[in-house]
Chain A
Amino acid sequence: MTPLSFQELIQNLQAFWANKGCVILQPLDMEVGAGTFHPATFLRAIGPESWSAAYVQPSRRPTDGRYGKNPNRLQHYYQFQVVIKPSPDNFKSLYLDSLKSIGIDTSIHDIRFVEDNWESPTLGAWGLGWEVWVNGMEVSQFTYFQQAGGLECFPVTGEITYGLERIAMYLQGVDSVYDLSWTKNANRKISYGDVFMQNEIEMSVYNFEEANTSQIFEYFDFLEEEAARLVSRHLPLPAYEMVMKASHAFNLLDARHAISVTERQRFILRVRTLAKIVAQEYYDSRAKLGFPLAEPELLKSNFDEGSEK
């Protein structure tokens, strides 16, 4: 069996999870650090409404850029994100089936669930779960959300994040991400490097050398004010966009070493404060709509006990 190309890997995962009833979304058209930032995960984890979605999310981590020289580290890479709420009883076995669908035979490979508790200080979110190892290599994160934006999650969202490049490198047996086969057509192979090498080099230069820090500092302040203002106008979704932008601005400043260690904590706290007020506003806005996607019995129990703790 020939291993999947990078794009076939994505197609297989999409088909698999579409088959399990997930809404297949397209990537968020904004810079985010992880698939968790997508409103389809972070905001949908809040409140009593049911939700199942899967999508690819390009993720930007400016500090991880290596000018295209490190075979494993990228400042822009892909995550495949699956969220199901409430997390189903067979969530883990669905995940194992999904591995089979991309060519990982569970009777050959050693698959392990190693405790890894997830926490996002900027989003005021945390959950418990595992990193999943295949023959000693971490290929996914598996998390049961317990809190998002400072709000208790009920019901609980189950989240799976696949590290697509790692899995593809493993399946294709290549040692450099740039050697991955993105796709093959009749006459030639298009590699990951063909698609992204120049981007990695130029964006590393931008992130580490060119980003205009004084402008970004000002921009951060603006976004902070704007998010608060939009919350006061009862517009949680635009306000949340400001939070995501602020978070990315912070990441850029971090990559430029423009924030001292002590300042760093303060910036994280500023983003978290925004994430919290936005989360509450989003909850209120869904409540006003009567939580249209909630199962009746969960809706009732949410009103009965939703404010527990």
Chain B
Amino acid sequence: MSAVSKPLLIEIGTEELPTNSVSVLGKALLEGVCDGLKIRNLSFGKAHWYASPRRLAALIHDVEQVAPEKMTEILGPPVAAARDQNGKWSKAAIGFAKKHGSSPENLTEKDTEKGLRLAFCSTIQGVSIEDSLTNIITESIDALPIEKKMRWGAKRISFARPVHWAVVMYGSTVFHEPILGVTPGNITFGHPVHSPDPILLSNPEEYEELLEAARVIADFEKRKNSIHIQIQAAAKDMNATAVVDEELLCEVTGLCEWPVALSGSFSSEFLSLPGEALILAMKTHQKYFHLLNSEGELLPHFITICNIESKNPEEVIRGNERVIHPRLSDAAFFFDSDMNSSLESKTSSLNQIIFQQRLGTLLHKVNRIDRNARRIAKILGASESEASQSALLCKSDLASQMVLEFPDMQGIAGRHNALNDGVSSSVALAIEQHYWPIYAGSKLPETEIGVCVAIADRIDTLVGIFGAGMHPTGSKDPFALRRASLSILRILIEKAYFLDLRELVDFAIEGFSDDLLDSGTSTAVLKYIIDRLPTYYDENNISVEIFRSVSALGIYCPFDIDLRVKAVAHFSTLPISESLAVANKRVTNILSKVDESDSLIEINEDLFSTEFEVRLAADLKLVKEACLDLILKKDYGAALEQLSMLDGPLADFFENVMVNSEDSTLRANRISLLKSVHEQFLKVADISQLAGK
């Protein structure tokens, strides 16, 4: 039987899907269908996903019509035991055959490693696409990551948005088994304005082409690319550079089927506003791309992507210009009225904004940030007065009209207001930068004062929210404590600050009035922050075992942890690391079985009965001395190099010395020696964690 294979097309036609889920769902649908084919052993060729606001589709080439037959072979009893003395089938043989619905005569003999065995062989028919396609589709639809499902009309079905049609075709064969409440066919629909008539497909392979003729670019990436090219062309016409934000580009790609870039203008008088505000107004409210001149200055133009080849594009441009004008007027109004009062005068309004019920208002919070920031500045040797001034002003712009209207302007609005008030630029920058990093992976505060306030604010949030009993659980993290923790770690590690979190956390806790916070807050917060590190290191390709070898020491200075982790990471690539790790593991194991009282004695050199003990003790002494300075300088790499010298002596010791001597004094002395070795390693890292990686 020769294998037949044909192209498969599945399309779900909907009302406009949520913008950001268009590509996600398109990819997931294809993935689901491919998975469904794979588990049924149906082979297929190239697979392609399509997604627009009104459709999700999967086109898979060369899908096998029937999966190949599968031969199975089940081994039974040995041939030697298949017959009794009389040459009749034995009970074992009959039982085995019966179990598989066969009789002994139909069994075959197989030569195996364990000798000749009876075997039951059968062929299983492969599933056909005809029989399994509906299930494959249903399973992949059920597995779609739809954030919020809805119902419509009088149907019990739910999906991301109402479903209007579906196409299911295998070659020219059309499937009609209902999915999502509609009967599939071979009819799809193009652009509702440009091509309202149904489109008959005779073959899945026509899909992309026929839709394009009906003014729909179904391929998400192709549409995105087309938008990008159109934006650049439009910018070129204006002698400008368009700033194409990837996120915005994806968003507008999810908002249209037939993108057409149009450019418009706004009054240049608005250019006196902070550029960030203009960009935000264009981007978040209107989804416009903004333009820069050759000096990198913002131009009073924008590019919008519409979903139509308008009969009168001027009308569309005029319409858009009329929308952006009042938006910018609003922004200008807010900005001007914000500048009429100082940032400091806005601070008092913070007592109107609750930070968290138990923890009081933002004004309370700001005062605590101030206290923390001054402390951090003192440790870092930065200006305490500037840290204090920045801290006291850092949240004041939350009471500004600008931030009320554009929440993303927080920090930026504060910087402008501060500069307008004549505050020093380092304070103004710190006000803005204390929110950094804004996203995972985005840039860190650049100024030292900015670092002080950034850490001070986040430590306060962590301590307060944990103390108020609102530990983040699973996906619920309303105060973004996960991000706050990671931000603290990134700042301290990547900017190389030796700040001890335990000290900071305990200091921050004292800033709350007595009995306000739950007991145990310090431990919980420290554990939570440190527990973010494995993810951080995982992203930097450092294994969890390496991290554990350092976290086992109970250090709370992230930069110190990092120096050790990097040293261990390097060490773990060296050939010696393996044997040293194993030796350490052995030491740990022995020590874990020992009572405290066993090892209380000092090492007594007179009790050494072998040269191996003597040598280990002598080398340990040398290593100890050499490490003292290295550890003080935090040169953990060199310290590990020193410790590596104990590899040979340790191996010899284990090879030749019985720790568990019958003489209890000898035993105690040997344990003390090992304990001393162990303690020396722990001054750098617990290398035993690397064993058996």
A residues whose Cβ falls under 8 Å from a Cβ of B: 71-72, 86-89, 92-93, 96, 105-115, 117, 127-128, 130, 134-137, 144, 146, 153-156, 158, 170, 175, 260-262, 295, 298, 301, 305
Contact = CB atoms under 8 A, between A and B. Distances in A.
For B53, B255, B323, the residue with the greatest tally of chain A CB atoms inside 10 Å of its CB is B323
Contacts of A137: 319, 322-323
For B15, B153, B255, the residue with the greatest tally of chain A CB atoms inside 10 Å of its CB is B153
A26 to B, nearest CB: 28
For B15, B148, B151, B322, the residue with the greatest tally of chain A CB atoms inside 10 Å of its CB is B151
Contacts of B304: 136
Given A154-B154, A170-B322, A261-B354, 17 more contacts: A71-B326, A72-B326, A87-B152, A89-B162, A92-B15, A105-B311, A107-B308, A113-B15, A127-B150, A128-B161, A134-B319, A135-B315, A136-B304, A156-B150, A156-B152, A262-B357, A298-B154
A136 B148 contact: no
A155 B151 CA distance: 9
A155 B286 contact: no
B255 A86 contact: no
A188 B602 CA distance: 109
B114 interface: no
Contact of A107 (B17, B151, B311, B320): B311
Interface size class of B (residues with CB under 8 A): 35 or more
A262 B323 CA distance: 35
Nearest to A130: B16
B420 to A, nearest CB: 24
Contacts of A261: 352-354
Contact of A109 (B15, B316, B353, B354): B316
A305 B316 contact: no
Contact of B150 (A88, A135, A144, A155): A144
A87 B153 contact: yes
A260 B318 CA distance: 43
Given A115-B19, A144-B162, A109 B154 contact: no
Contact of A113 (B16, B152, B308, B311): B16
Given A261-B352, A261-B353, A155 B153 contact: yes
B152 A158 contact: yes
Interface string B52-66: 010000000000000
Interface of B: 15-20, 53, 148, 150-154, 156, 161-162, 164, 192-193, 255-256, 286, 304, 306-308, 310-312, 315-316, 318-320, 322-326, 352-354, 357
B339 to A, nearest CB: 19
B319 A136 contact: yes
B354 A107 contact: no
Contacts of A260: 352, 354
A110 B310 contact: yes
Contacts of A86: 152-154
Contacts of B153: 86-89, 155-156
B311 A108 contact: yes
20 contacts: A87-B153, A108-B311, A110-B307, A110-B308, A110-B310, A110-B316, A111-B308, A112-B255, A114-B19, A114-B255, A130-B16, A135-B315, A136-B286, A136-B323, A154-B156, A156-B153, A170-B322, A260-B354, A262-B357, A301-B154
A135 B319 CA distance: 5
A262 B286 CA distance: 32
Given A110-B306, A144-B150, A156-B152, A135 B19 contact: no
Given A107-B311, A135-B315, A135-B323, A113 B53 contact: yes
A108 B304 CA distance: 15
Contacts of B16: 112-115, 130
A137 B255 CA distance: 15
B151 A154 contact: yes
B316 A135 contact: yes
For B152, B156, B322, B324, the residue with the greatest tally of chain A CB atoms inside 10 Å of its CB is B152
Nearest to B158: A146
Contact of A112 (B15, B148, B307): B307
A261 B319 CA distance: 38
A100 to B, nearest CB: 11
For A117, A128, A136, the residue with the greatest tally of chain B CB atoms inside 10 Å of its CB is A136
Contacts of B255: 112, 114
B385 to A, nearest CB: 32
For A89, A108, A110, the residue with the greatest tally of chain B CB atoms inside 10 Å of its CB is A110
B564 to A, nearest CB: 45
Contacts of B18: 115
Contact of B310 (A108, A114, A136, A305): A108
Given A89-B164, A110-B310, A115-B19, A305 B319 contact: no
Contacts of A155: 153-154
Given A135-B323, A136-B286, A155-B153, A109 B352 contact: no
Contacts of B307: 110-112
A221 B433 CA distance: 46
Contacts of B162: 87, 89, 144
A156 B154 contact: yes
B223 to A, nearest CB: 15
Nearest to B285: A136
A114 B17 CA distance: 9
Given A110-B316, A135-B320, A128 B193 contact: no
A156 B159 CA distance: 14
Contacts of B319: 109-110, 134-137, 170
CB-CB nearest 7 A-B residue pairs = A135-B319, A110-B306, A155-B154, A113-B16, A86-B154, A115-B18, A128-B150
